[in-house]
Amino acid sequence: MTSFYKVLDNLPYPAILALAALFGALMPLAFAPLSLWPLVFLLLALLLVLVETQTSCWRVFFIGWCFGLGYFGFGVYWIYNSLHVFGMAPPFVAGFLTGLMIVVLALFTGFTLSGWKFIQRSTGRQGIWILPVLWFAFEWLRGWVLTGMPWLSLGYSQTETPLAGFAPLIGVYGLSALCLLLVLALLRIISNREYRYIALIVLIPGAGLALQNIDWTDAQSSALKVTMVQGNIPQEVKWQYDQRQNIFNIYWRETTRNWDSDLIVWPETALPGRSEEIEQDVLLPISITAAEQGSSILTGVIVSDSANQRFYNSMLLLGTDQGVYHKRHLVMFGEYYPMRWLLDFMRGLINIPYSDLEPGPDEQPMMSVKGVKIGLSICFEVVFTRDIMLALPEANLLVNASNDAWFGDSLAPHQHLQIAQMRALETGRPMIRSTNTGISAFIDYRGRLIEKSEQFKTLSMTQNMVGRTGNTPFYYVAKIQGVIALLIILVLLFYVIKIHRQNRLTSL
């Protein structure tokens, strides 16, 4: 390790920045679909070694920022495809918006590492242990700024590792902090030969494995037979008027084979067209037929109120049980335009159908099928713990409906599924994930995949799903983690200002 430090000391600063970007670019390989999760610990360790060679907080900031550019540049490149290929935005517009998002996301890594270096420089050796706390706080902040983009939080890479046992206690951001804690312990062992930290390396994963044997929630007495239908409708034809009947026929064909199911789930916006247009000819006949068969169909549709110019991305429950859910957390530029007074011109550059929607209210009546209460989320909402928690503790079963056709054949559908697994882990609830082109899946209450679909195939899958009651410890932690994260950031800011003033007074 000493020789490695000597090599770094002789490297010019631009080469160090390039190394940081390379380490960041490799980080998405730790997530689905490859799931090379040990890379998280290796790459973070290498990143921290780069940081240790620097004394300037600004230099450390740019190391962290370059790491973030590689991390998110490779990890969320698919945003460009969504905007350009399917949203038909000009390459410049799609590239600019994607690049802007990557640049902003990378700032959080830069601020985390520079804040850590500042505290470490001011407090000495013991300041290194503040890094997991700062990482937790800035990942949480990334999940809120501009409505949030917590995609690729480090903890998601641990959904199928020994650390997954901690998810029902501390959630995904807590898992990220644990990763940093283990990396720091590893560095102390290798670089300083402080072998007492081997205990952390052994005890934390060991405790995680033990925790995986604990059932934090209780099973309901009976199962719900659920079928999900994956229509595999290409995005480029999904909203064409002359394709409506063909699309309906695909879903109906798969549905009529599964009338023995209690619930049949179709994906987000499975039915093209607005609810007002298709209510009499499509929605009402579906509901009547499903009720006659003793079943219920949950389908995505644009619910419209044209008179008041209000449109919602919604899920309708039709048949023996009925209800409606309006998506609360909309996607920027895909479903709404922020700062409309400034960015309204963008609507003419991005051709996404129904890209100016209304968000649903936080409080909405919960759907229930044969006594099983369903916590619904649509697409991007599953990325946010706070959105899923709105349905708890009442919900027994989680359903996430999505149209991942927007992502094409990229990393995103795999990453999206892994995120859904984390929500199941955090809540102790099984999840049904129904998508248009895949990956659809049944997930158990421990975040494990029961069954998943192949991508880009029309199919249906059926499983008996047992709902759960009760709460995981994380249900209570989630209520205060925002306060904790904000306090950490405020204390850091206060500390920076205090030291800056002291340095100014000293210089005078």
> Does residue 379 have an active-site annotation?
yes
29 beta partners = none
Q: Which two tokens stand for residue 7?
A: 């090599």
Residue 64 neighbours by CB under 8 Å, 6+ apart: 20, 47, 51, 106, 109, 110, 111, 112, 113, 114
Q: How many CB atoms lie within 10 A of CB 199?
A: 10
How far apart CA 264 and CA 318 sit, in angstroms, is 10
Q: What does residue 309 show for φ and ψ, rounded to 5 degrees?
A: 55, 45
Residue among 66, 238, 358, 379 flagged as catalytic: 379
How far apart CA 1 and CA 18 sit, in angstroms, is 20
Residue among 139, 179, 254, 268 flagged as catalytic: 268
Q: Which amino acid is at 279?
A: E
230 beta partners = 459
**By C-alpha distance, which of 55, 58, 24, 21 is closest to 42?**
24
Residue among 139, 327, 335, 426 flagged as catalytic: 327
373 beta partners = 368
How far apart CA 156 and CA 150 sit, in angstroms, is 10
Residue 194 neighbours by CB under 8 Å, 6+ apart: 188
The answer to whether residues 23 and 43 touch, using CB atoms and an 8 Å cutoff, is yes
Q: How many CB atoms lie within 10 A of CB 191?
A: 16
> Does residue 454 have an active-site annotation?
no
> Does residue 268 have an active-site annotation?
yes
Active site residues: 268, 327, 379
